[in-house]
Structure 1
Amino acid sequence: MNRVKLYWILQIFGWGAFAFINIFFAYLSEGTAPVQPWAFVVWAAFYLISTHFLRFIVKYYEWFKLPLPKLVALAILATLGMSFVNMVAQILINVAFNTLNPEEDFKILVILANLFVSFIFYALWVLVYFLFQFLDNYNTSLKYEARINEIRLNHLKSQLNPHFIFNALNSVRALVDEDPAKAKTAITRISNMLRFSLMMDKNQTINFEDELNTVKDYLSLESIRFEERLKVVYQIEDEAYTYQVPPMMLQTIVENGVKHGISNLVKGGIIEIKCKEGLNEELYMQVKNTGRLYEAPNLKVKGEQGHGLSNTVERLKLIYGENATFRIFNSGTEHVVTEIKIPKRINSSKKNNT
């Protein structure tokens, strides 16, 4: 079930139950005015609105990114503040429904009791909501760690694929006598890629420049194998270097274009990489390669191509939620375009928090 839908179901059910219980006990007592039940309904509605407002504040100011002591302090202050406001709201509601008893309702003990009860209800709501968020974040972290481990293994498998190593070593061997300096450079690039694969840690994102360097190493090696059949064009704006990107994301897209596009064409083709900043502080990445996309781009196809793209989409979803976009499509009859947009930073809404 959608988290937002679940949130509203629990909110309405919970505060609805609060109103029902109060009405039930009010009818059991003597002297209940006919209009009094609606006072409890309005009171429950106030609880619902005020707790929803607190949720908005928590999400807007990203409280869950704060240190735990500061988060607890803010939660307590917010609960106390809402309790005072709720106490005033109770008085106003009683006045509106003509259920106010000045002799009783304005006694110090009654006011303190109402304040304490309001604090308890708000504290319970905060406890449940915060506990849900912490459990949800923990669950998402576990899912991400499992996915990143799977991606690391898949990438190592791809890089250590016998065909890849065979082609790379053959390319280097051909250069040993012809151009020893170039052969050394090729060996260095192979070493860089393997080292990056082995040392890729569990960080959700890395510097864009590090990712781009891996892409350049990979394309430089492929250029040795394909020679004039592979043309590479980079259009990278300076602003792109200020972003963080998921590791191996751009490299996977480029590798997909080479393996399933360029390598299948006798005349080869072009790999064009564009990276720029969008209007709303988002990184726009586009990889355009010669080729044709024959499979439906639903990312559920079998095989290495579908596996790599589906992993990319899943990682984007885990890290950015609905704030990142991915699409792959044919451009004309000779090119395939893959586009990715990611925000400047990861925020609390990436998990569709309730």
Structure 2
Amino acid sequence: MNRIRLYWILQILGWGAVGFIKIFFGTLSSGITSVVVWAFIVLSAFYLISTHFLRYIIKTYDWFKLPFSKLLGLTLISILGMSFVNFVAQILISVAFNTLNPEEDFRVLIILASLFESFLFYALWCLVYFLFHFLDNYNTSLKYEARINEIRLNHLKSQLNPHFIFNALNSVRALVDEDPVKAKTAITRISNMLRFSLMMDKNQTISFEEELNTVKDYLSLESIRFEERLKVVYDIEDEAYDYKVPPMMLQTIVENAIKHGISNFVRGGVIEIKCKEGVGEELYMQVKNTGVLENEPNLQVKGEKGHGLSNTVERLKLIYGENATFRIFDSGQEQVITEIKIPKRIKSSQSNKYS
């Protein structure tokens, strides 16, 4: 619903309810005439007009950007001033409808009660108005943040697609002339991987099984190229299949291990993939490969220019916030270990969008 329309509906219903309550209790106490009823209606209309004027002042001078202490002070002063003006308006309305009783209406207790009643009504209106504004802005901020994160995630995935496809095609290029049969097998695996890369855009997370199958296709393809120089070891616990992971996350880590590790050794090497459920509901993934870190881990992450490890780190941050961890380190003896831990659930601010 349009915010302006909602505002006017609430204004009319709210102050209309105030007028109805006054009329109802006036009828119960001593009975009232139609003239008094109209006086109450006009008073309710004055409440509506005066609060709308206050809203105009708030919006014109942008009170929402003021420090809380100053906003609170201005609001209290405004409520007190409007309460006094409201009392004057009540006197004028009583004069206009010939319902004024000077001996009764000008008693100190009656004046104080009238001012206190007006103060409560205006204070309640301000509380509801400010609360609605801040909650609406907070909700808008959450939607804006989710939308920005969605755009950034889609951008990161669009970077992965050409990078992923190029490496896959590069792996099969040498086989076309040397071994056509293996080339056909490799092309079939590339087809599976391309189908997966196209489908991944529909979801921010996929089942672990889907991701693992793509990794197996990729490593089978690379095994054709490296032959006996590449050995792959899987250690996957059953609990890992209960999790969802960002698409091509594990694939990117394995691809990095081949590109920066195995391919740099004439004798080749080993890739060990270990996935299990850690303490609490979190998935622990480890990729251990033959290789040596040439730079500090953080520098290597930044050096990927958005395609490899830095892409993975950014996506983990966007989807899981601080609940996911990533680290890569040299364990010695020509072994590099990459570890990732992700929770079973996406962070709350993204769950409605990406779960």
Compute the TM-score of the two structures, normalised by the length of structure 1: 0.64
SS at match of 1:213: helix
Q: Partner of 1:147 in structure 2? A: 153
Q: Partner of 1:16 in structure 2? A: 69
Distance 1:248 1:221 in 2: 16
Q: Partner of 1:219 in structure 2? A: 219
Q: Assess, with a 3 A threshold, how the Cα gap between structure 1 residues 210 and 111 changes in structure 2: closer, same or farther.
A: farther
Q: Partner of 2:295 in structure 1? A: 295
Distance 1:246 1:230 in 2: 26
Superposition map of 1:199-210 within 5 A: 199-210=199-210
Q: Assess, with a 3 A threshold, how the Cα gap between structure 1 residues 220 and 20 changes in structure 2: closer, same or farther.
A: same
Structure 2 residue identity aligned to 1:280? G
> 1:168: how far off?
1.1
Higher Rg of the two aligned structures: 2
Distance 1:276 1:331 in 2: 20
Matched, 1:186 2:192: no
Structure 2 residue identity aligned to 1:149? H
Q: Assess, with a 3 A threshold, how the Cα gap between structure 1 residues 121 and 239 changes in structure 2: closer, same or farther.
A: same
Structure ranking higher on relative contact order (CA contacts 8 Å, 6+ apart)? 1
Q: Partner of 2:165 in structure 1? A: 159
Contact 2:146–2:350 under 8 Å retained in 1:
no
Contact 2:292–2:336 under 8 Å retained in 1:
yes
Distance 1:286 1:105 in 2: 76
> 1:19: how far off?
4.9
Q: Assess, with a 3 A threshold, how the Cα gap between structure 1 residues 127 and 202 changes in structure 2: closer, same or farther.
A: farther
Task: Compute the RMSD of aligned alpha carbons.
Answer: 3.5
Structure 2 residue identity aligned to 1:209? E
SS at match of 1:228: helix
Distance 2:159 2:348 in 1: 29
Q: Assess, with a 3 A threshold, how the Cα gap between structure 1 residues 301 and 22 changes in structure 2: closer, same or farther.
A: closer
> 1:267: how far off?
1.2
> 1:296: how far off?
1.6
Distance 1:206 1:267 in 2: 35
Distance 1:23 1:125 in 2: 16
Q: Assess, with a 3 A threshold, how the Cα gap between structure 1 residues 111 and 212 changes in structure 2: closer, same or farther.
A: farther
> 1:211: how far off?
0.7
Structure 2 spans left out of the alignment, 5+ residues: 1-63, 82-108
More off after superposition, 119-128 vs 311-320: 119-128
Contact 1:289–1:336 under 8 Å retained in 2:
yes
Distance 1:171 1:105 in 2: 97
SS at match of 2:280: coil
Distance 2:312 2:117 in 1: 57
Distance 2:314 2:235 in 1: 27
Q: Partner of 1:321 in structure 2? A: 321
Distance 1:289 1:21 in 2: 65
Q: Assess, with a 3 A threshold, how the Cα gap between structure 1 residues 166 and 338 changes in structure 2: closer, same or farther.
A: closer
Q: Partner of 1:263 in structure 2? A: 263
Superposition map of 1:267-286 within 5 A: 267-286=267-286
Q: Assess, with a 3 A threshold, how the Cα gap between structure 1 residues 257 and 108 changes in structure 2: closer, same or farther.
A: farther
Distance 2:248 2:343 in 1: 17
Contact 1:322–1:350 under 8 Å retained in 2:
no
Q: How many residues align?
A: 263
Deviations 1:79-102 (A, max 9, x none): xxxxxxxxxxxxxxxxxxxxxxxx
Q: Structure 1 vs Structure 2: percent identity of aligned residues?
A: 57
Distance 1:216 1:183 in 2: 17
SS at match of 1:201: helix
Contact 1:299–1:306 under 8 Å retained in 2:
no
Decide which of 131, 135, 146 is 1:129's aligned counterpart: 135
Q: Assess, with a 3 A threshold, how the Cα gap between structure 1 residues 301 and 251 changes in structure 2: closer, same or farther.
A: closer
Q: Assess, with a 3 A threshold, how the Cα gap between structure 1 residues 186 and 27 changes in structure 2: closer, same or farther.
A: closer
SS at match of 1:114: helix
Distance 2:159 2:71 in 1: 51
Q: Assess, with a 3 A threshold, how the Cα gap between structure 1 residues 337 and 301 changes in structure 2: closer, same or farther.
A: closer
Contact 1:215–1:250 under 8 Å retained in 2:
yes
Q: Assess, with a 3 A threshold, how the Cα gap between structure 1 residues 212 and 26 changes in structure 2: closer, same or farther.
A: closer
Matched, 1:228 2:196: no
Distance 1:226 1:192 in 2: 20
Distance 1:312 1:166 in 2: 22
SS at match of 2:203: coil
> 1:199: how far off?
2.8
Superposition map of 1:323-342 within 5 A: 323-342=323-342
> 1:157: how far off?
3.3
Structure 2 residue identity aligned to 1:168? V
Distance 1:26 1:305 in 2: 57
Q: Assess, with a 3 A threshold, how the Cα gap between structure 1 residues 107 and 237 changes in structure 2: closer, same or farther.
A: farther
Deviations 1:197-247 (A, max 9, x none): 233224211111111111000000001111111111111111111111111
Q: Assess, with a 3 A threshold, how the Cα gap between structure 1 residues 118 and 341 changes in structure 2: closer, same or farther.
A: farther
Q: Assess, with a 3 A threshold, how the Cα gap between structure 1 residues 279 and 130 changes in structure 2: closer, same or farther.
A: farther
Structure 1 spans left out of the alignment, 5+ residues: 1-10, 29-102
Compute the TM-score of the two structures, normalised by the length of structure 2: 0.63
Q: Assess, with a 3 A threshold, how the Cα gap between structure 1 residues 23 and 112 changes in structure 2: closer, same or farther.
A: closer
